[in-house]
């Protein structure tokens, strides 16, 4: 997501997402507590094993909106993987302000530009669809099309989900919030139900807009996401 003049507004979205978080957690696919301490230099393992490429394809929550170079979520995930000795490069393909429609348009082009196909894709879009109040049916169709493109190329996926604020109405919130758990089941994708779950509502972990994480918040998010990535990389066939 990124700051926009669209209805709802950042502060309202932040408060509404926080209030909806617990309800969505019960509906989503089960995700164990994956938070782990960030590896320190002293504890880091030597990097070894097959070289892996992870494509982080999403919006400003991946791009690192408002952060310094090297502080984005893909950077933080890569640091944690390498701290565990995993030879993984996480390519940041986050675009601030991107919608699922924008992601659908650029996915194939992004994949084709890579020197080699990624071993895994982190797919995280949908926040800007909420800000624009895009029909959830359109969001679902766009997400499904991206998953179908990745399946066609034989690339496994981790979905990082988004939620709609309840002030948009129960019908909109229900239809939107079901997109990620439904598609994860249909496409055999790993799911983190709500990418902001570890940070939303905590001012110490967020930028002043209340929607985007600061560098410390990104670290909390990476503590949650990196173990999912490590687990999926571990079960990939040998390179």
Q: Which candidate in 60, 75, 129, 223 is catalytic?
A: 60
- Whole-number Cα distances in Å, 209 to 87, 202, 212: 35, 12, 7
Q: Where are the alpha helices (DSSP H) in 64-169?
A: 73-83, 100-113, 127-132, 136-152
Report, in angstroms and rounded to the nearest whole number, the Rg of the chain calculated over CA atoms. Answer: 17
60 an active-site residue? yes
Q: For residues 1 and 165, give the distance between their C-alpha atoms in angstroms, rounded to a whole number.
A: 14
Q: Which candidate in 96, 119, 212, 223 is catalytic?
A: 212
Contact residues for 108 (Cβ-Cβ < 8 A; gap 6+) = 149
Q: Which candidate in 19, 87, 182, 209 is catalytic?
A: 209
Question: What are the residue numbers of the active site?
Answer: 60, 209, 212
């Amino acid at each position: 997501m990124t700051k926009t003049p669209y209805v709802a507004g950042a502060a309202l979205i932040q408060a509404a997402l926080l209030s909806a978080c617990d309800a969505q957690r019960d509906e989503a696919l089960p995700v164990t507590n994956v938070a782990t301490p960030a590896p320190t230099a002293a504890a880091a393992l030597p990097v070894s094993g097959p070289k892996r490429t992870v494509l982080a394809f999403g919006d400003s929550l991946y791009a690192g909106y408002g952060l310094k170079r090297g502080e984005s979520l893909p950077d933080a995930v890569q640091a944690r993987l390498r701290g565990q000795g995993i030879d993984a490069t996480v390519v940041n393909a986050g675009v601030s302000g991107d919608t699922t429609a924008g992601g659908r348009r650029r996915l194939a082009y992004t994949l084709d530009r890579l020197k080699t196909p990624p071993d895994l894709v982190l797919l995280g879009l949908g926040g800007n669809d909420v800000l624009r109040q895009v029909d959830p049916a359109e969001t679902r169709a766009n997400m499904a099309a991206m998953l179908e493109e990745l399946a066609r190329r034989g690339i496994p996926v981790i979905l990082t989900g988004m939620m709609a604020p309840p002030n948009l109405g129960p019908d909109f919130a229900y239809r939107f919030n079901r997109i990620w758990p439904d598609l994860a089941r249909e496409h055999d994708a790993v799911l983190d139900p709500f990418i902001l779950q570890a940070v939303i509502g905590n001012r110490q972990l967020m930028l002043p807009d209340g929607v985007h994480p600061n560098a410390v918040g990104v670290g909390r998010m990476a503590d949650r996401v990196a173990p999912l990535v490590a687990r999926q990389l571990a079960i990939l066939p040998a390179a």
